[in-house]
Amino acid sequence: MTITDARFGTQLQTKKGRVFNFDDVQCMIAFVKGNSVKKEEIAVYYLPDYVSHKLVPAEGAYYLKSEALKSPMRGNVAVFEKRVELDKVKAEIGGTVMTWNDLWK
């Protein structure tokens, strides 16, 4: 899949080395929930830091959901490596701070 906006594109890698790319974190989660790949087969989830666009592991990242984000697949979730960066963006556009586990609900 071609990533249309580097601020939101995600990637998962399986333990066997297969790589899947997605336009948005919600698409990646739907892919896993739809049993296209089993959760226990996944080695790591990578998401782009909203500020630097550098891919960071999902665990330990910070998440902001806001309608103002307008991600390609309408998940409207931005990922931040540093909480201070999330707080700056939230002060500008509003939104709800979430955890990785919240996104799976």
- The 10s digit of each residue's pLDDT in 62-84 is 999 999 999 888 889 999 999 99
Q: Report pTM.
A: 0.90
Residues 79, 66: contact at Cβ < 8 Å?
no
Where is pLDDT greater, at 71 or 61? 61
- The mean pLDDT value for 8-22 works out to 96
> For residue 77, with 0-12 CB atoms within 10 Å meaning exposed, 13-18 middle and 19 or more buried, which class applies?
buried
Confidence of residue 39 (pLDDT cuts 50, 70, 90): very high
- Residue in the structure block whose two tokens are 């999902």: 58
